[in-house]
Structure 1
Amino acid sequence: MIEASFGVKHYRSAKARFLKPVLMNFFAVECPRFFGPTLREKLADELINLFEALAPERTRIKPGQMLWNALDKNTRGDAPRRRYVPVVLTVVCEDDVEQLIQGARMTKISENAIARLIREAYEQGGILSSRDLALILNRETTWTSERRKRYEAEHACVLPHTGALHDMGSCVTHKTTIVRKVVLERKDPAVVARECNHCQASVDRYLKDYHRVKTLYKLDQDIEFIHLATQIAKHVIKQYIALIEEEEKTS
C-alpha cells in the first residue's frame, strides 16, 4: 500500500470546509440512500449556482475581505463531528496600505494581518489554525505560526487560535504566557483567563502544572524525572523551569 504524501495528510481535510464539499457531505449524511456521488455533486453545483445568482458576492464582501468556513470555536479540529461557521475575514485593509505607504515593513503588516484574521474569526464564532492562515495567505504553516508567535511575544498576548484554545499542534508558549501573567505580573487568574480567551479551568490547570514542576525542580529533580512523574511534555517543562528561574530572580 502506497503511503499518502504529506500534502494529502496535511491538507485533504481542509477541503471539507468549502461550500461544495459541505453540500455533498450533507446529502451523503442525511440522504445516503437517495443520492450517489455523481448526483450529490450535480445537486451541489446547481444549489451553488442558484445561491450565487440570488446573492452576488459583491453585495456581501468588501474589497480586501473573503469568506472562509472556519472551525466552530466550540468544537475541536480532531473531533469526529466537526462543525464549521462562515466568517468574513479582512485579508487586507486600507490601513495596511497606509502603513506601507508610511514605510512600515511588510513583515509587520503580515503579523498584524494574522492577528486581525484570528480575532475576526473568533468574534464570529470561529477559530483559525496555522493551516487555515497558511491556506488563506498562500504561505507555509511554519511561516504563519512564526509570525503569530512574534505578534504574541511583542504584545504579550495570546491570540485565540486552535493551538492555544484546544491545546492542538506544537503550540505551548501560550501556557507560559498565561502563567507569567499570574506569577510574575501578579494578575488575577480570572482576569488572565478573559485576556487570553481561555476558560478558567484551563488557566487553573496550567498554574497547577507549573507548581507541580516547581515543587520537583526545587527538589533537584531533572527534566526526565519531572516528565515521568507529571506526564507533562518535556518542552513545556523546560519553559516552566525558565519561568521558575525568572521568578526567583525577581523575588
Structure 2
Amino acid sequence: MKDSNAERMLRKYKGFANSVKQMLNQEYKFLGGDKIQDMFIKDLLEEFNRHLKDGWKLDAGQVVWWAAHKDEYPGRNKTIENTKMVPVILSIASQDDLLLRLDGYSAKEIRKSKVARILREAYEQDGVLNQADVSLLIGVSAGTVGKDIREFQLEQGVVLPYRGTIHDIGPTLTHKKIIIQQFVRNIPTPEIARRTSHSEEACDRYIKGFKKVLKLHGDGIPTENIASELEMSKSLVRQYVEIIEDLAETTKGEKR
C-alpha cells in the first residue's frame, strides 16, 4: 500500500532540489557538472533539515534561538561568522514561572529560575548561550543576568552551562569555586562533573591547579612567584588564592 503523505513529501523535496539545480544552472554556471551539483544539493538539503525547527511544535512561550555549539571553543581572531551555531528551542515563559508566582516567590527569584532554565535548555540541545543572549531574550541588562547566574549558582551549589563556564571565557570564578568546594567535601569527580556540566577532565584540571596553589600559598610564597613556578597566569593564581581564603573563612565560621 502506497503512503500518499510520503509521496507528497518526496515530490516536495524533489521540487526544492530541482529549483536549486535550476538556480545553479542559471546563476552559478561555474559550479558545473550534474554529479557535483547533485552532491551539493544533497549536502544543502541535509544542512537545511538539520537546522529546521517546526514552528507548530513550539509550546506557548517558546522561541527558536541560535546558540554556539557546546564543542565550539573560541579562538584568537575567531568571529561569530566562523563559529558553528545550532538552533535551540527555549522556554521564555512557562507554567513553572506561574507556579512559582502562585507560591509567593519574588519577581527576582522567578527571573533567576528562568535564566537557569534557558541556559540548561540550550545546553541539552548542544548549544551554549552567553549573557548577552539571555539579556536580549528576557529583556534585562547583561549585568543583571550575570548577577542572577552568580547568585543562583552559589545558592544552589551548581554550575550553570553558559559560554563563560563551558568555554572558560572571562574570569568565571564562581564555577571554579563550586567545583573546589565540592572536591573539599569529598564528592567524587564524576558527580562533580554531572552537577557542574563539566567534563571530568576539566574538573580534575581545576582540582589539580587548586592543590598546587594551595601548597605553595600555604608555604607563604607570593602570588607572583606561584604564577611563575606553576606557569599559570597571575589572574588564575589570584582566583585560586581567593577560593582558598574563602574556604578558610568558611571553615572558621563552622568551628565557632
Distance in 2 of aligned mates of 1:248 and 1:145: 27
The 1:215–1:151 alpha-carbon spacing in structure 2 relative to 1, beyond 3 Å, is same
- Which residue does the alignment assign to 1:207? 207
Distance in 1 of aligned mates of 2:94 and 2:106: 15
Q: Report the alpha carbon displacement of residue 97 of structure 1 after superposing the two structures with TM.
A: 2.1
Distance in 2 of aligned mates of 1:192 and 1:56: 36
Distance in 1 of aligned mates of 2:241 and 2:149: 21
Q: Report the alpha carbon displacement of residue 194 of structure 1 after superposing the two structures with TM.
A: 1.9
- Which residue does the alignment assign to 2:174? 173
**Any conservation in 2 of the 1:91–1:117 contact (CA below 8 Å)?**
yes
Matched letter for residue 143 of structure 1:
T
Q: 3-state DSSP class of the match of 1:201?
A: helix
- Which residue does the alignment assign to 2:242? 239
Q: Report the alpha carbon displacement of residue 136 of structure 1 after superposing the two structures with TM.
A: 1.2
**Any conservation in 2 of the 1:71–1:77 contact (CA below 8 Å)?**
no
The 1:210–1:122 alpha-carbon spacing in structure 2 relative to 1, beyond 3 Å, is same
The 1:248–1:116 alpha-carbon spacing in structure 2 relative to 1, beyond 3 Å, is closer
The 1:218–1:136 alpha-carbon spacing in structure 2 relative to 1, beyond 3 Å, is same
| Structure having the higher Rg | 2
User: How much identity, in percent, do the aligned residues show?
Assistant: 26
Taking the TM superposition and a 5 Å limit, the aligned residue runs for 1:1-251 are 57=55, 59-78=56-75, 80=78, 81-183=82-184, 185-230=185-230, 231-232=232-233, 233=235, 234-243=237-246, 245-246=248-249, 249=252
Q: Report the alpha carbon displacement of residue 245 of structure 1 after superposing the two structures with TM.
A: 2.1
Distance in 1 of aligned mates of 2:108 and 2:195: 25
Unaligned 5+ runs, structure 1: 1-30, 35-50
Q: 3-state DSSP class of the match of 2:64?
A: strand
Matched letter for residue 85 of structure 1:
V
Distance in 2 of aligned mates of 1:217 and 1:95: 45
Q: How many equivalent residue pairs?
A: 201
Q: Kindly provide the CA deviation profile for residues 110-137 of structure 1, in whole angstroms up to 9, marking residues without a partner as x.
A: 0000000011011111111111111212
Distance in 2 of aligned mates of 1:108 and 1:201: 33
Distance in 2 of aligned mates of 1:247 and 1:212: 21
- Which residue does the alignment assign to 1:16? none
Matched letter for residue 101 of structure 1:
L
Structure 1: which 4+ aligned runs deviate by more than 4 Å?
A: 246-251
**Any conservation in 2 of the 1:164–1:172 contact (CA below 8 Å)?**
no
Q: Report the alpha carbon displacement of residue 214 of structure 1 after superposing the two structures with TM.
A: 0.8
**Any conservation in 2 of the 1:69–1:85 contact (CA below 8 Å)?**
yes
Which piece of structure 1 moves more, 73-82 or 174-183? 73-82
Distance in 2 of aligned mates of 1:208 and 1:108: 35
Distance in 1 of aligned mates of 2:152 and 2:192: 18
- RMSD, matched Cα: 2.8
Unaligned 5+ runs, structure 2: 1-27, 32-48
**Any conservation in 2 of the 1:223–1:237 contact (CA below 8 Å)?**
no
Q: 3-state DSSP class of the match of 1:96?
A: helix
**Any conservation in 1 of the 2:119–2:160 contact (CA below 8 Å)?**
yes
**Any conservation in 2 of the 1:214–1:244 contact (CA below 8 Å)?**
no
Matched letter for residue 95 of structure 2:
E
Matched letter for residue 194 of structure 2:
R
Q: Report the alpha carbon displacement of residue 102 of structure 1 after superposing the two structures with TM.
A: 3.6
The 1:209–1:247 alpha-carbon spacing in structure 2 relative to 1, beyond 3 Å, is farther
